[in-house]
Structure 1
Amino acid sequence: MAGPSTQEPVKTQQKCIAIFALLCCFAVLLVLIFSSVDVWGDDEDGITEENCSRDCRIVLVENIPDDLSLHLHGRSHLPLSVGFHALLERAQHSVEMVSSVWDLNSWEMDPVVSAAQQGRLLFHRLLGLNSRGVRLKIASSLTNSSELEALAAHHADVRFVNMTAFTRGGLHSSFWIVDRKHIYMGSADMDWRSLSKRKELGVVVYNCSCLALDLHRVFSFYWQLHDRDYIPSIWSKRVTALYGKHDALELQLNATPATAYLSTSPELFCAKDRTRDVDAIYQVIQSAKTFVFISVTDYLPLVKRSVRGVTRYWSSIDEVIREAVVLRGVRVRLLISFWKKTHPLTFNFATSLKSLCLQLHNCSLDVRFFSHKEPTDDFQLGLNHNKYMVTDNAVYLGNHDWVGSDFVMNAGVGLVIKMKAGALDSGATVLQHIKAAFERDWRSRYAKSLQGSKVGKSRHSQWPKTHWDTKQENDETERP
């Protein structure tokens, strides 16, 4: 038998092992705590998942430059600048904002030029929020913005998201959350051009705190990446999605029953239960019965990695469009902007899509390019900056152009709204308003058809030759 002298070292060793095990557990716990997300002030406004509002009002907002002649056919949508100011007037506690660009207070233009006045007015209203007791919070990936520095000097809380460290991309999201009750989502940046010279489209949703609370969780995701160069392995429950493509929010939009949910990209930025943007787009196209209308600045199903310079085909969206057209007989219209930065391969992919319907019955796929043709030094003059899709039963509003690299590398947010069965017959809905906006642009003189077998006429030399025909089809008899 072992004597007391031999038992003592054994007990001491066992105690050391036990203490070491406890220290290891404590260290792991600390790592989990500090790697997770602590969400600031979630209960400061009293809005929770249990008491949030689903009875919402939605308004379509657009910016249409004065020098674009578009026939509204009696439908006048709320100007974007009016929608922004209406949101700021309602703000009582907080305004949370994300934008890829901050260029409202432009000093490059003459101060009396009206095109820049709306931007400067909005910027000065943001500067004045603190004096009203409204806290302004901004998440951005910009490192050298004089406007963000000025807002921070006026007590705005600005946090930097190091997108270069995460994906070598940018923070391309564009949305507002006001008092966690009202939201804006759309194509516009915090840029004076979005309020004057570019064509933008988005929605403002009022008194919709359930949806606003979920969008706030996306904002909180960005907020907690401040000065980090890694994505935490464990996230707080407070940034997980409340709704998704399989469990969408049921709500009333202008007294009409509908469902809605948010999607995000890139995949690395999808917190638990959050739907990816590409999956949301896929679901909307798959659920379409008769038509899919798409309006984007750029369409390019390619991914280019800047580090290696390797380009690969990105099939996620391109294939589902082809499937809808060929296998299900869904009518597709694709309106793409033609501008200084249009990639030459865009025309190849557009021609490939159009060729699907050659010698096929019950097949309809049309591609047009939207361009303001007047020569100008500012290549964004009249640019169609829209980023949306509308079908016979749903709408997708996003922050990305339909370019593979954007979805893979850049952060963005999408909003999917689907009308309940029978809701489309109950009167004008946001889907019908967006569809009308698309058809107005499609039938305008700025939308040109792609005719691969014909050569563009010399008077339209700015259009790519061998791709353009100035002849417009007669759309009056076309119906989805």
Structure 2
Amino acid sequence: MAGRNTQEPLKNQQKCIAIFALFCCFAVLVVLIFSSVNIWGDNEDGITEENCSKDCSIRLVENLPDDLYLPMNGRHHLPLSVGFHTLLNRAKHSIEVVSPVWALNPWDQEAMPSTAKQGQLLFQKLLSLKSRGVKLKIASSLTNSNELKTLASHNAEVHFVNMTALTRGGLHSSFWIVDRKHIYIGSAAMDWRSLAKRKELGVLVYNCSCLALDLHRVFSFYWQLHEKDYIPSIWSKRVTALYGRHGALDLQLGTSQASAYVSTSPELFCTKDRTRDVDAIYQVIQSAKTFVFISVTDYLPLVNRSVRGTKVTRYWSLIDEVIREAVVLRRIKVHLLISFWKKTHPLTFNFVTSLKSLCMELVNCSMEVRFFSHKEQREDDQYGLNHNKYVVTDNSVYIGNHDWVGSDFTINAGVGLVVKMKNSLQDRGVTILDHVKAAFERDWMSGYAKNLQGNKDQRGKLRDPQQVEIHMETRKEIQWNKSSSL
């Protein structure tokens, strides 16, 4: 009896310890949840999947520097600065902006072209939002920007995303959400160069609260990363994707039926059901029936990583392979337009040569590559730079924030928009695809787009001194490539 009596208190003590341990675990879990996310998510202004608008309109916007002479062929697209002001004029309640750069005011105003004033005008318009009662929320990379400090003093809320701590990458995302109804996605950042010196392309989507609601969830994801050096493993349902490549949003664009969704990168930033940028591009190219036109600043299917202090480079095949498959196996016409500038990596020419060689001795095979370059870029690597980042086919378009460089998709944050037309070519009339295609063909046929092989003299030497320099660097890179066994 005495032994039994001594065992019962011991058992009760063990139960108490177990219950206390479970309680502590539950308390820690609750703390983790509430510290990592806003469990209720952001207020979505009463907009839901059930009551949001799917009857939308879409408009192509471009910035073309004044000294860039491009044939319009009767199609004048909305200037980028006008597009931004249109969004600001429509704003009644809120504007949410993500941009990696905030430099709308040029530091040397006297030496800047007159078009640089567009950045100043846009900045003043943003400052005036306070007097109109429009709430401005900004997510940006860690930057010491005077513009952000001034906007914050005018009631703007600013959150910073520390990509270096999160992925060892950078923030490339550039998009707007206005009143949870209108959006902008494109290549331009909040930089006066995007409105004056660089060639930019993007889209405005009006009265499309379904798509705006989904993009707002991407914004909410960035917003909740403020002052964090880790990516939470538990998220509110308010940041999960509403639409993706396996469940796109069906909408009406003018007289045409279409589907659309927003993609993101890197993979660590893809919440539940969110499509990766690279998968979106893959789908767009794979679904093409007749042509694929690609315009990017840089093309380099490589990923550079640092492993234990050692730089490791590997081939990143995801986009490169789907292009090769389209050209060789499906006989799709592929045109690739890349910018030729001071920061073009020498190995770009190796990969381009490899792509162009696919059609040697093949019937009905079309793979062409051209380099877009403005003569002024020799003195100013930004002037006339083709900063576009899109692919358009006979049935789809993808417009994003990344160059097609492996490292961009794996560690840098970006956003893309996919639009696919449902009507047949004969039944849909003029669509956003036709406008983007026309912009590409205008650039492709311009005097700024050149085939590198076409710039050789009779002795087979490159005429352009800058091209000679690149050619020599390419040879050095090839030798280094062989010795390091990439």
Decide: shared fold, TM above 0.5. yes
User: 1:105-144 deviations in whole A, cap 9, x for unaligned?
Assistant: 1122218841210000001111111111111111111231
User: 1:31-73 deviations in whole A, cap 9, x for unaligned?
Assistant: 2343344465423x22122111000010000111111111111
Does 2:46 correspond to 1:42? no
SS at match of 2:21: helix
Please list, as runs of the form range in 1=range in 2, the aligned pairs for 1:34-433 lying within 5 A after superposition: 34-38=35-39, 41-43=42-44, 45-110=45-110, 113-306=113-306, 308-374=310-376, 377-422=379-424, 425-433=427-435
Conserved? CA contact 2:333–2:365, under 8 Å = yes
Partner of 2:484: none
Tell me whether 138-147 or 243-252 shows the greater mean CA deviation. 138-147
CA distance in 2, matches of 1:188, 1:238: 27
User: 1:202-243 deviations in whole A, cap 9, x for unaligned?
Assistant: 100000000000000111111100111111111111101000
CA distance in 2, matches of 1:35, 1:255: 44
SS at match of 1:435: helix
Shift of 1:191: 0.8
Shift of 1:341: 0.8
Summarize the Cα distance change of 1:162–1:112 in structure 2 as closer, same or farther, 3 Å threshold.
Answer: closer
SS at match of 2:376: coil
Match of 1:461 among 455, 459, 465: 465
Summarize the Cα distance change of 1:193–1:239 in structure 2 as closer, same or farther, 3 Å threshold.
Answer: same
Conserved? CA contact 2:258–2:420, under 8 Å = yes
Partner of 1:474: none
Shift of 1:256: 1.1
CA distance in 2, matches of 1:233, 1:466: 45
Shift of 1:265: 0.6
CA distance in 1, matches of 2:293, 2:249: 24
Conserved? CA contact 1:454–1:466, under 8 Å = no
Conserved? CA contact 1:370–1:448, under 8 Å = yes
CA distance in 2, matches of 1:365, 1:112: 40
Shift of 1:21: 2.2
Shift of 1:466: 9.3
CA distance in 2, matches of 1:5, 1:332: 84
CA distance in 2, matches of 1:149, 1:382: 30
Shift of 1:296: 0.3
Summarize the Cα distance change of 1:424–1:23 in structure 2 as closer, same or farther, 3 Å threshold.
Answer: farther
User: 1:350-370 deviations in whole A, cap 9, x for unaligned?
Assistant: 111000100111110000000
Partner of 2:24: 23
Shift of 1:18: 2.2
SS at match of 1:426: coil
Shift of 1:246: 0.5
Shift of 1:452: 8.0
SS at match of 1:293: strand
Conserved? CA contact 2:456–2:462, under 8 Å = no
Tell me whether 188-197 or 107-116 shows the greater mean CA deviation. 107-116
Gaps of 5+ in 1: 468-480
Question: If the length of structure 1 is used for normalisation, what is the TM-score?
Answer: 0.93
CA distance in 2, matches of 1:209, 1:375: 40
Letter in 2 for 1:387: K
CA distance in 2, matches of 1:406, 1:466: 23
SS at match of 1:383: coil
User: 1:379-432 deviations in whole A, cap 9, x for unaligned?
Assistant: 111111000000010000010000111111110001110000326633110001
Conserved? CA contact 2:182–2:209, under 8 Å = yes
CA distance in 1, matches of 2:18, 2:342: 68
CA distance in 2, matches of 1:38, 1:140: 23
Conserved? CA contact 1:168–1:409, under 8 Å = yes
Letter in 1 for 2:336: L
SS at match of 1:374: helix
Conserved? CA contact 1:38–1:224, under 8 Å = no
Partner of 2:483: none
% of aligned pairs identical? Answer: 70
Summarize the Cα distance change of 1:424–1:201 in structure 2 as closer, same or farther, 3 Å threshold.
Answer: farther
Conserved? CA contact 1:171–1:410, under 8 Å = yes
Tell me whether 373-382 or 310-319 shows the greater mean CA deviation. 373-382
User: 1:91-116 deviations in whole A, cap 9, x for unaligned?
Assistant: 11111111111110112221884121
CA distance in 1, matches of 2:455, 2:92: 59
Tell me whether 2-11 or 330-339 shows the greater mean CA deviation. 2-11
SS at match of 1:74: coil
Gaps of 5+ in 2: 472-486
- Number of aligned pairs? 467
SS at match of 1:139: strand
Partner of 2:478: none
Summarize the Cα distance change of 1:91–1:327 in structure 2 as closer, same or farther, 3 Å threshold.
Answer: same
CA distance in 2, matches of 1:453, 1:181: 48
Tell me whether 443-452 or 160-169 shows the greater mean CA deviation. 443-452
Question: If the length of structure 2 is used for normalisation, what is the TM-score?
Answer: 0.92
SS at match of 2:437: helix
SS at match of 1:339: coil
Conserved? CA contact 2:299–2:348, under 8 Å = yes
Summarize the Cα distance change of 1:40–1:131 in structure 2 as closer, same or farther, 3 Å threshold.
Answer: farther
Letter in 2 for 1:70: L
User: 1:285-310 deviations in whole A, cap 9, x for unaligned?
Assistant: 11001100000000011111255322
Conserved? CA contact 2:462–2:468, under 8 Å = no
CA distance in 1, matches of 2:455, 2:343: 24
Summarize the Cα distance change of 1:227–1:49 in structure 2 as closer, same or farther, 3 Å threshold.
Answer: same
Summarize the Cα distance change of 1:466–1:94 in structure 2 as closer, same or farther, 3 Å threshold.
Answer: closer
CA distance in 2, matches of 1:132, 1:40: 26
Letter in 2 for 1:388: Y
